[in-house]
Amino acid sequence: MEEKEIQDELTSIRSLMERSSKFISLSGLSGILAGIYALIGAAAAFNILYTDAFTRNFTIGDDADAGKITSRSYLLLSIALLVLIASVITGFILSYRKAKQKRQPLWGQTSRSLLFHMATPLVTGGIFILILIIQGHYGIVASASLIFYGLSLVSASNFTYTLIKYLGLSEIILGLIAACLPGYGLLFWAIGFGVLHIIYGSMMYLKYDR
C-alpha cells in the first residue's frame, strides 16, 4: 500500500513538473484542421497554377505572360496567408479551450519560450521565401517553406509534446526531397502541411486530447 502511495506521489510530482516546464495545451484537433485547410489551399493553388501549359514549369515568356506569373504569385501568396490565418485562429481557440480544461495558463513563461523558439526560424524562413519569390526562384519555395517550418517545430519541441519534434523532422526530410524535385513542389507542400498535419494531429488527439 505504501509503495502504491509513493508511486502516486511520484506521478503527481512528474505531472506538476511537466505542467511547469512544457506547454501541454496544444490541441491535436487544431493540427487536423490545419491539415485540412492546407489541402483545400493546395487544391486552389493547383487550379491556379495549371490552367496554362507554360505555368507548369514556371517559365516566363513575353511581358503579358510575365504579368500572369506575377498575378498568380499574388494569388498563391494570398491563399497561403489565408491558410496560415485560419490555422493560427483555430489553434488559438482550441488551445485556449484545452488550457481552461487543464487549468493551465495559455500565456506564461513556457508558452513565451515556445513562441520565441518557433517564431525565430519561421520569420527567418518567411523573409527568405519572399526573397526567393522576388528573384523568381519559384521552384524551391515549397521546399524552403517545409524546411524552415520543420526547423521551427524542432526548435519549439523542447517546450511541448515530443511528437512535435518528429513532425518537424518529417517536414525537414520532405523539404529536402522536394528540393531535389522542384517540379513537384506543390505536391510536397500538400503532403507536408496537409497530410502530415492530419496524421500527427490525429496521433496527438488520440494520445493527449481524449
DSSP string over 130-196: HHHHHTT-GGGHHHHHHHHHHHHHHHHGGGS-HHHHHHHHHHHHHHHHHHH-GGGHHHHHHIIIIIH
Residue 106: inside a domain: yes
Range of the domain at 187: 28-209
Structural domain contains residue 4: no
Range with lowest mean pLDDT among 12-21, 91-100, 142-151? 12-21
Instruction: Please report the pLDDT score of residue 33 as a whole number.
Output: 93
What local confidence, expressed as pLDDT, does residue 36 receive?
95
Judged against a pLDDT cut of 80, whether residue 2 lies above it is answered with no
Residue 135 lies in a domain: yes
Q: Is residue 1, in this structure, part of any structural domain at all?
A: no
- Supply the pLDDT for residue 88: 85
20 falls within a domain: no
Amino acid at 103: R
Number of domains into which the chain is organized: 1
Cell numbers given for 165: 519534434
**What backbone phi and psi angles, to 5 degrees, belong to 62?**
-80, -175
pLDDT at 53 over 90: no
For residue 106, give the C-alpha cell.
Answer: 495559455
Task: Report percent pLDDT > 70 for the chain.
Answer: 73
Q: Is 6 within a domain?
A: no
| Position 20 confidence tier, pLDDT thresholds 50, 70, 90 | very low
In a domain, 46, yes or no: yes
Q: For residue 141, give the nearest of 45, 25, 7, 14 by alpha carbon.
A: 45
Query: What is the Rg, in whole angstroms, of the alpha carbon atoms belonging to the chain?
Result: 20
Cα 196 → chain centroid: 9
Question: With 90 as the cut, is the pLDDT of residue 194 above it?
Answer: yes
Within-domain flag for 14: no
Q: Tell me the mean pLDDT in the region 86-99.
A: 83
From the number of C-beta atoms within 10 Å of its C-beta (0-12, 13-18, 19+), residue 65 rates as: middle
